[in-house]
Amino acid sequence: MAQQEMKAANETYSGFLSLLKVGSIITAVVTLVVVLLIAS
């Protein structure tokens, strides 16, 4: 039973990290676009 809970927890954590990475990239791109718009 504990093994199944750890597997589910690891999958949840892995999904969270993937979402965090994608979110960070999107945030960086949007920030770059805004800075370029302000600078021009």
Q: Decide: helix, strand or coil at residue 40.
A: coil
pTM: 0.73
Q: For 1-40, how does the pLDDT look when each residue is reduced to its tens digit (9 = 90+)? A: 788 999 999 999 999 999 999 999 999 999 999 999 999 9
Amino acid at 30: V
pLDDT in the model for residue 14: 97
Question: Whole-angstrom Cα distance, residue 32 to residue 29?
Answer: 5
